[in-house]
Amino acid sequence: MNSARPERNLATSAPPASPSATPVSTQLQLTSQARNEPTVVPSPGPSAESSSAILGAAHGQSLSLPSSPATNSPSTPALTLGKRIERALRRSHLADVKVSTVGDLVNLSGQVPDDASKTKARRIAAATKGVREVFDYNLKTQSAITLDRVIALLHAKRRFQHVDATIDGCTVTLVGLVYDDDAKAAAETAANSFGGVCSVMDNLGTQMEQANELILKITHLLEQGGLHKVTVNVIGHDCFLKGEVSSERDREKAIAIAEGNGLTCAPIDNFIRVVPHSWFGFGH
């Protein structure tokens, strides 16, 4: 008689696992397989990092969520609105048109050959997806720029009578003389407003600058000539002297110094008193 006890089948005698010990995803898979339904595994809740970022955004902080895993499939970044417009303009032989954007607003600048090209550039920009409005005030046409026209429009104003100009492409250079800095700014604004002008170079001088230089120069010459009590003022090409000298000869000397620098010193505009010295160094 074989007294050996039969071996226990551990696989069959093991106690059944409790439902709570089985992972939820496994339970759902088993249940779905029994019902012939597709398996749906619940997605995990937001991580601590994501929750912190979302809460920070709610309090005015920038939202920065964890980046998604990189994929192996290559991707081409989408062109910006400005780049898409520039590409369309190049295809239409309008590569000289410059494009700047603010949101869905587009500004065109630069230079085109004529008004037809300007209209074409505007239509191309307006037809680009994502554009709400197009501004082309700074897009100039070459055909509108003529030297005679620029000078004629400047000389139509009295304050610009001594202003001249040269043109290189769509750039206007102003030369000559105006009264002061305000007149310089006004001349530059006037030149910039002409159709076809893309930039203005201001090489203008002012009468005030010249006058100040002349005043310093003449004052120095008067002092060198011993005429320390004579002062000078300059307006345009006219000089105004005042003060006192000891003789008529010194008076004529002061006028000669001023007129020797290209000025006109009319006697009626000069107030130099002649005060002769006495033997004791006092005037009468």
231 & 186 share domain: no
Last residue of a domain, one of 142, 158, 185: 142
Which amino acid is present at 235?
Answer: I
Please indicate, yes or no, if residue 9 is contained in any of the structural domains.
Answer: no
- Asked if 118 and 170 sit in the same domain, the reply is no
Task: Look at residue 14 and tell me if it is in a domain.
Answer: no
Overall number of domains in the chain? 3
Same domain, yes or no: 126 and 160: no
Distance (Å) of CA 108 to CA 84, 146, 151 = 13, 23, 27
The model's pTM is 0.38
What's the token pair of residue 38?
Answer: 């597709």
User: From CA 156, how far away is CA 261, in angstroms rounded?
Assistant: 31
How many C-beta neighbours within 10 Å does residue 124 have? 19
Last residue of a domain, one of 142, 171, 191: 142
Asked whether residue 214 is domain-assigned, the answer is: no
Same domain, 201 and 149: yes
DSSP 8-state secondary structure symbol assigned to residue 114: S
**In percent, how much of the chain has pLDDT > 90?**
21
Question: CA 142 to CA 198: how far, in whole Å?
Answer: 9
Q: What is the CATH number of the domain that holds 252?
A: 3.30.1340
Say which CATH number the domain at 199 has: 3.30.1340.30
Q: What is the pLDDT of residues 30-73, one digit of tens each?
A: 554 545 544 444 444 444 444 444 344 434 444 444 444 444 44
Structure tokens at 149: 């026209």
| Residue 35: per-residue pLDDT | 53
- Of residues 194 and 274, the one with the higher pLDDT is 274
Contact of 270 with 240, CB cutoff 8 Å: yes
What is the C-alpha separation between 51 and 48, in angstroms, rounded? 5
In a domain, 126, yes or no: yes
Judged against a pLDDT cut of 80, whether residue 95 lies above it is answered with yes
Residue 75 lies in a domain: no
State the pLDDT at residue 123.
94
- The residue range of the domain holding 110 is 81-142
Average pLDDT over residues 232-239: 77
